[in-house]
Structure 1
Amino acid sequence: MTGEVEARLIALACSKPPKGHARWSLRLLEKHVALTEDIPDLDHSTIGRVLKKRNCALT
């Protein structure tokens, strides 16, 4: 995974969650990553590892 992909993923995780959701979850991020053309499909466990590596917490 490139640094650019990690940065885009972190930016998404730090953004406002979609309407109807109080916060991002790993599975919700997984669904939105699949819809984003410039980020390759990632499963929720990979997303969790990336966020943990960068000390990003979903709150």
Structure 2
Amino acid sequence: MVRLDRIEFVKLLVSVGAGMVAGNVARGYFSDQIAGFFATVVVLVTVYGALDIIDRRYLRRNE
């Protein structure tokens, strides 16, 4: 079983929350479930990737 540390948990929590908000906005704007799902996935992956890059740069700077 994989244990998540606090940083990974926060990255997942923030990216899922941003994805949910983006999906709801897209679903309301386009009135389409597929557009909402697509926006959710794109924002989730983008935000998680950005937070991962920031985390790695911060950890490398402190080593």
User: Normalised by the size of structure 2, how large is the TM-score?
Assistant: 0.35
User: Normalised by the size of structure 1, how large is the TM-score?
Assistant: 0.36
